[in-house]
Structure 1
């Protein structure tokens, strides 16, 4: 699996100090995220995501949001400590090309939802870490089917 501590800690450290109102998230941060999560981006998609990140993570307030979300990503936001509170059906979609977490990791972790009446893992061939971006049709179809079975 991905080294979340090694990937995120340098950015968390770099974002520790306040910045001015003109600060925007650096290009290399956005590139690193999308290289890891999607295997990189075509130029037109990169331009979109750079603009989106800059709109969301601007100035000192944006720096703080980016730092907090990166801390949560690194530390997994305590998910494992809350799994016993999950009492609903769970559908976990996971791509075979995910560079962050392996299919084996997903297979191991889906078993941790022990109080869920159903915890199912579906593998999507070629799917990246940002699965809804790399395979939106498959994600949408699986989610709709899952919800329809519950209605």
Structure 2
């Protein structure tokens, strides 16, 4: 899969947002926006782009959040709310009046934000391996990771300016892969993500994007008191081998979508945190079924 293209949007002073279609846009099909996980790119969705059944059922449009891939802004700071707004502006710029949104990990809470901000645009969301909480004691008590503790060493290591020859250390990439896909990542897949991360997070500007992406993950706001604003269908998929956010957490939080006409949690046996990558067949089949029902 080739690198993302960019499209200009007006948010945060002005931005260029990394995005890529699986195939040329077809107005007769529903659109499924794909939002990637922490430090990854549109390339996280290589399995979905390669699935002819899914790509024939919907326009697949992967969009990179702020701090990721080729997305850039003229302002120096950003939050997940900014990524949600920019994603909606990408749809406007492309002339797409409505869409479904699938998001992995941080992509799940960006999808929820998009649904709350634009209920007339977002027809349904498919969060994968995610949480709607902040990194709270409550979530840790339910078996979720210590996200603040995970991010703290990286924030310390990324605090000071660096030279233009700097690239993200591979141990940081390996830590993300271990949480997302487990320890048995193939050599080819590991090499792919090492190269991708080192291309995207290079020089002092790359260090700063990575630091802010890590700040966003560690210090984000929770959504519990806002989820009544999600008025579209929700299909939450969660793997039993997810070491970041637990099935128990998902079981509690799916009940908070009180305004949704259909909020379902589907548990995937053996699924990892980056569920779209670890179990693409399960995710793709469920997405097709969801689109068939709600499009």
Give the TM-score normalised by the residue count of structure 2: 0.49
Of the candidates 84, 87, 91, which is equivalent to residue 235 of structure 2? 91
Q: Deviations over 1:42-90 (max 9, x none)?
A: 2111100100111111112211221122122223454335323211111
Single out whichever of 141-150 and 110-119 deviates more from structure 2. 110-119
CA distance in 2, matches of 1:30, 1:38: 12
The equivalent residue for 1:29 is: 172
Gaps of at least 5 residues in structure 1 are none
Q: Please show how residues 7-18 of structure 1 align to structure 2 within 5 Å.
A: 7-18=150-161
The equivalent residue for 2:275 is: 131
CA distance in 2, matches of 1:15, 1:79: 28
Q: What is the RMSD computed on CA atoms of the aligned residues?
A: 1.5
Of the candidates 174, 199, 213, which is equivalent to residue 55 of structure 1? 199
The equivalent residue for 2:189 is: 45
Higher relative contact order (CA 8 A, sep 6+): 1
Divergent runs of 4+, >4 A: none
The equivalent residue for 2:146 is: 3
CA distance in 1, matches of 2:258, 2:226: 11
CA distance in 2, matches of 1:81, 1:55: 38
SS at match of 2:235: strand
Give the TM-score normalised by the residue count of structure 1: 0.92
Of the candidates 194, 212, 224, which is equivalent to residue 68 of structure 1? 212
SS at match of 2:237: strand
Distance apart, 1:13 and its partner CA: 2.4
Task: Work out the number of aligned pairs and report it.
Answer: 151
The equivalent residue for 2:5 is: none
Report which of the two has the higher share of helix: 1
Of the candidates 252, 262, 280, which is equivalent to residue 108 of structure 1? 252
Gaps of at least 5 residues in structure 2 are 1-143
Q: 1:50 to 1:90 in 2, by over 3 A?
A: same
SS at match of 1:111: helix
